[in-house]
Structure 1
Amino acid sequence: MSSLTSARAAVSEWVDRVALSAPARLTLITFGAVIFLFAGLLSLPIATASGERAPFMDALFTATSAVCVTGLTTVDTGVYWSSWGLAIIAAGIKIGGLGIMTLASLVGLAVSRRLGLTTRLLAAGEARASGMGDLRTLLRTVVIVSFSIEIAIALVLFPRFLTLDYGLGRSAGYSVFYGISAFNNAGFSPDPAGLYPFADDAWILAPLAIGVFIGALGFPVYLNLIRGWRRPRSWSLHTKLTLIMVSALAFLSAALLAIFEWSNPLTLGDNSTQSTTLHLLFQSVNQRSGGFSAIDISNASEQSWLLSDVLMFIGGGSGSTAGGIRVTTLAVLLLAIWAEARGRRDMEAFGKRVGTEVLRGAVAITVISLSIVITGTGVFMAQTGIPLDRSLFEVVSAFATCGLSTGITGSLPDDAKMTLTILMYVGRVGSLTIAAALALNKQRRVIRYPSERPLIG
């Protein structure tokens, strides 16, 4: 008994030491462990509809896609996996959407009614809490908002599936699955044909789009809106920038999609004006992060693919279930460009000044993410021989954890599947988290060199 206690104490001491010295590394290890756990569960015969074991590469890919809330699949989700398999995928999406460290904090609160310093730091980084004092309230907000939206979506979809003769059990299961998948921006569909049979069904597409939109805002925004919903002027700069950027990008996406696809008979060209409008609104929300699609992306124009590449790379709000470099990162870069064009020393918005350290972070995130996408695309093309346009689309979709595809994922060789698996993992844990985990230490310099401004441009 004493040896068991000593072993537990040793493990606990090791975890605390790793967490305090390098929280980013603990995040990487935890996410990786959860992915392999779900890959093991999906490898069980009970998880497949045929009752046979799924190939480990397909199980690992699907588990990574679920935990990293991506939505890319190598097999048809609604056909290949059993009800148990779908339940495992839904659980992976839920855990990945909440964030492993956030979930660990919630468990800690429920058990001990208090949080240690290490757990607070990890959860604050995962949920993007503005301060340590906000963490407990933020975690409560995470639980309330996520479960409330998912339940609301399920309640709206349930009667619709009943009218489609899905049966009571299947209707309930699909409604819950779609609710989890939508809010967490996962893009998984339990229907064998995906959302294509519901292409003109606003009863199904509208709640999914709303769930994706809300899920992509971010938990800090929810907290800010709940606290000051009657006083918009009191909203934080982060909330204002997120709402503006998300709305502007949705409008821009819908407008450009209308230009690119309005006359394409393989996507929107043969639809009525009402149906086309519904599609544009639905796709404009899902192009950045949701991953759902009611049109065949493989038949879209190359201009639409390029638009999707850009929007997926941008992603959703910081601290949200979406991926990408995040809309506030883009907002900071645009503020820097505007300040430089106006000859101003500071970046300003809504009567607030944005510090240069925020700009350095935005530049670092963007450059690291671009480097990963470029490298990943080159490796992917070498592995598959697929042209640049489709390869870039697939790589960006994986790294930005969006899940849209031009239809090539299922036919990829195992090495290419592994490349996308790694990209999904890297995209979920974050570029800066990877960089921080690889850094050996942080140096605090006492001496600062004299400044000099090199020529640029």
Structure 2
Amino acid sequence: MVAPTAAARRRFGPATTVLVGYAAVVGSGFALLTLPIAKAGPGGARPLDALFTSISAVSVTGLSTVETADHWTFFGHAVILLLVQTGGLGIMTLASLIGLAVARKLSLGSKLTTSAETQGVGLADIRRFITGAIVVSLTVEAIGAVVLGVWFAAVTGFPPLEAAWYGLFHAVSAFNNAGFTILPRGLVPFVGDPVVSLALSALVLIGSLGFPVLDELRRFPRTPLRWSMNTRLVLWGTAVLTVVGTLFITAVEWGRAGTFGPLDWPTKVPAGFFQAAQTRSGGFSTVDVGQLDGATLIVMDVLMFIGGGPAGTAGGIKLTTFGVLFFILVAEMRGRAAVNVFGKRLLRAVHRQAITVSLVAVGVIVASTVALALLSDEPVDRLAFEAVSAFATAGLSTGITSDLSPAAQALLLLLMFAGRLRPILLASALAVRTRPLTYEFPKERPIIG
């Protein structure tokens, strides 16, 4: 991992430093994946495939132009795993951890860049955030790796070392919401396996909560009254959207021949729960997403667009942003001047930030879908699904990614990179560049609606 130097941090602002750091890691991953040792079979990987995979791993998305299990060797899989772990924890988080280990303190520049990367975690909390994020990540991943590794060895018959490697890879991929799988036949054979499905779903959902939420749950597990508005919004949003997604997907796909139809009824609800959990930004699938009903794809688009909690491994506009928009709507419908959430009033600046982030995201996705439609002959609903999945770093795919033209794949590549950095750069810009005005324009009200 190549971290920006102290001189670079002085030249660039925090947001730019984060961008440079991520670009450096993507470049390193690209260089390693182009080596002949990384690709199965003769020769090296196609440059676009290597770059696409590197960005997909660092942005913890999971989209791929090739079959991950067959195209890459053990070395290639190890590189992808390292990129996923680095991207999930954050470049500046890891760089700051190294600074803590060496100097036992953080410079102001390190605090600013890590704060920008973690979307506004206070400077006073940076040290606890970094150590907490590392401890939580490694602990949850280790537990997941043991559970999956033991189950793979006991049930599937994989040799112990191979089962342990599969367990570790998928635990890291799931917790970081990356969606990469290296199993020979993917996860489809495990659609009825309760241990694999529940373990991966749990890892995805825990990772999607965000490190600030996990830190509060660790410190105040039995005192919900001490939880912040952020934690409550994320927990309530995760529960409601997962339940709604499970019910909708299960109901629509219940008798569909290409998806849940062949499954016995005790397997259909867990399969629906698994797919709903993956829309938090997980990216795994135990059924053929390309065979899902169009209505299911639209609902999954919405769920992926919302994403998970801030300052974590999930993508999307974030549950907190969606929650703020929901409570703004409720306040307007009730004719209230102030927006109250869980007994506290929202700042006016938060209203503008949530609306701005959402409108920018909608604009990017619409423009990208139009561009993909011009570059491809695939159905528009499939292209919109790919665009949302890339921008929300969800990694779910209808199976058309590898069939797209190089220009369309390059657009998805940019969407994944922008999707990982958009909350960091945009939220940082909105929070930092608030400038007081010494004058006000006269007020006038247009007709709304």
TM-score, with structure 1 as normaliser? 0.94
Check conservation: 2:304, 2:392, Cα contact below 8 A. Answer: yes
* CA–CA distance in structure 2, aligned partners of residues 412 and 116 of structure 1: 45
Task: Indicate the residue corresponding to 1:13 in structure 2.
Answer: 7
Task: Indicate the residue corresponding to 1:4 in structure 2.
Answer: none
Task: Indicate the residue corresponding to 1:423 in structure 2.
Answer: 415
| Residues 67-103 of structure 1: per-residue CA shift (max 9 Å, x gap) | 0000101111111100010000000000000011111
Check conservation: 1:365, 1:432, Cα contact below 8 A. Answer: no
* Pick aligned residue for 1:49 from 34, 40, 51: 40
1:72 partner SS: coil
User: Cα 1:35–1:11, aligned 2, differ >3 Å: closer, same or farther?
Assistant: closer
* CA–CA distance in structure 2, aligned partners of residues 54 and 166 of structure 1: 28
How far does residue 454 in structure 1 lie from its aligned partner after superposition? 3.0
* CA–CA distance in structure 1, aligned partners of residues 233 and 5 of structure 2: 43
* CA–CA distance in structure 2, aligned partners of residues 203 and 242 of structure 1: 25
Aligned positions of 1:162-173 closer than 5 A = 162-163=153-154, 164-173=156-165
2:340 partner SS: strand
How far does residue 453 in structure 1 lie from its aligned partner after superposition? 3.3
Q: Report how many aligned residue pairs link the two structures.
A: 445
Task: Indicate the residue corresponding to 2:278 in structure 1.
Answer: 286
Which letter does structure 1 place at the counterpart of 2:101? Answer: A
Task: Indicate the residue corresponding to 1:230 in structure 2.
Answer: 222
Task: Indicate the residue corresponding to 1:175 in structure 2.
Answer: 167
Task: Indicate the residue corresponding to 1:26 in structure 2.
Answer: 17
Which letter does structure 2 place at the counterpart of 1:312? Answer: M
How far does residue 297 in structure 1 lie from its aligned partner after superposition? 0.6
Task: Indicate the residue corresponding to 1:147 in structure 2.
Answer: 138
Check conservation: 1:77, 1:192, Cα contact below 8 A. Answer: no
| Residues 385-439 of structure 1: per-residue CA shift (max 9 Å, x gap) | 222111100111100000111110111221111100000000000156159779x
User: Cα 1:121–1:271, aligned 2, differ >3 Å: closer, same or farther?
Assistant: same
Check conservation: 1:261, 1:269, Cα contact below 8 A. Answer: yes
* CA–CA distance in structure 2, aligned partners of residues 356 and 451 of structure 1: 17
* CA–CA distance in structure 1, aligned partners of residues 396 and 375 of structure 2: 20
Task: Indicate the residue corresponding to 2:313 in structure 1.
Answer: 321
- Does 2:253 correspond to 1:248? no
Check conservation: 2:205, 2:280, Cα contact below 8 A. Answer: no
Task: Indicate the residue corresponding to 1:121 in structure 2.
Answer: 112
* Pick aligned residue for 1:262 from 249, 254, 260: 254
Task: Indicate the residue corresponding to 1:99 in structure 2.
Answer: 90
Task: Indicate the residue corresponding to 2:332 in structure 1.
Answer: 340
Aligned positions of 1:180-191 closer than 5 A = 180-191=172-183
* CA–CA distance in structure 1, aligned partners of residues 254 and 445 of structure 2: 49
Task: Indicate the residue corresponding to 1:277 in structure 2.
Answer: 269
* CA–CA distance in structure 2, aligned partners of residues 361 and 89 of structure 1: 34
Which letter does structure 2 place at the counterpart of 1:133? Answer: A
Task: Indicate the residue corresponding to 2:128 in structure 1.
Answer: 137
Aligned positions of 1:384-423 closer than 5 A = 384-423=376-415
2:55 partner SS: helix
* CA–CA distance in structure 1, aligned partners of residues 216 and 428 of structure 2: 28
User: Cα 1:206–1:427, aligned 2, differ >3 Å: closer, same or farther?
Assistant: same
| Residues 10-69 of structure 1: per-residue CA shift (max 9 Å, x gap) | 974343121xxx321222121112111101110001111214200000000000100000
1:430 partner SS: helix
RMSD in angstroms over aligned alpha carbons?
2.0
Task: Indicate the residue corresponding to 2:290 in structure 1.
Answer: 298
Structure 2: state its 5+ residue gaps: none
* CA–CA distance in structure 1, aligned partners of residues 91 and 73 of structure 2: 25
* CA–CA distance in structure 1, aligned partners of residues 334 and 111 of structure 2: 41
* CA–CA distance in structure 2, aligned partners of residues 233 and 14 of structure 1: 43
- Does 2:184 correspond to 1:192? yes
- Does 2:50 correspond to 1:76? no
1:359 partner SS: helix
Farther-moved stretch of structure 1 (122-131 vs 240-249): 122-131
Check conservation: 1:395, 1:420, Cα contact below 8 A. Answer: yes
Farther-moved stretch of structure 1 (423-432 vs 244-253): 423-432
1:372 partner SS: helix
- Does 2:299 correspond to 1:307? yes
Which letter does structure 1 place at the counterpart of 2:41? Answer: S
Check conservation: 1:70, 1:186, Cα contact below 8 A. Answer: yes
* CA–CA distance in structure 2, aligned partners of residues 389 and 126 of structure 1: 32
How far does residue 443 in structure 1 lie from its aligned partner after superposition? 5.4
Farther-moved stretch of structure 1 (272-281 vs 447-456): 447-456
| Residues 330-364 of structure 1: per-residue CA shift (max 9 Å, x gap) | 10001001111111111102211111111111001
| Residues 235-267 of structure 1: per-residue CA shift (max 9 Å, x gap) | 101101110001000001011112210110211
| Residues 98-128 of structure 1: per-residue CA shift (max 9 Å, x gap) | 0111111111111111111121012123224
Check conservation: 2:116, 2:424, Cα contact below 8 A. Answer: no
Task: Indicate the residue corresponding to 2:81 in structure 1.
Answer: 90
Check conservation: 1:25, 1:437, Cα contact below 8 A. Answer: no
Farther-moved stretch of structure 1 (131-140 vs 146-155): 131-140
1:288 partner SS: coil
Structure 1: state its 5+ residue gaps: 1-9
| Residues 137-175 of structure 1: per-residue CA shift (max 9 Å, x gap) | 111110111111110011001122212221122111111
Task: Indicate the residue corresponding to 2:355 in structure 1.
Answer: 363
* CA–CA distance in structure 2, aligned partners of residues 399 and 350 of structure 1: 30
Task: Indicate the residue corresponding to 1:445 in structure 2.
Answer: 437
Check conservation: 1:46, 1:82, Cα contact below 8 A. Answer: yes
* CA–CA distance in structure 1, aligned partners of residues 265 and 317 of structure 2: 34
Check conservation: 2:368, 2:387, Cα contact below 8 A. Answer: yes
Farther-moved stretch of structure 1 (393-402 vs 280-289): 280-289
TM-score, with structure 2 as normaliser? 0.95
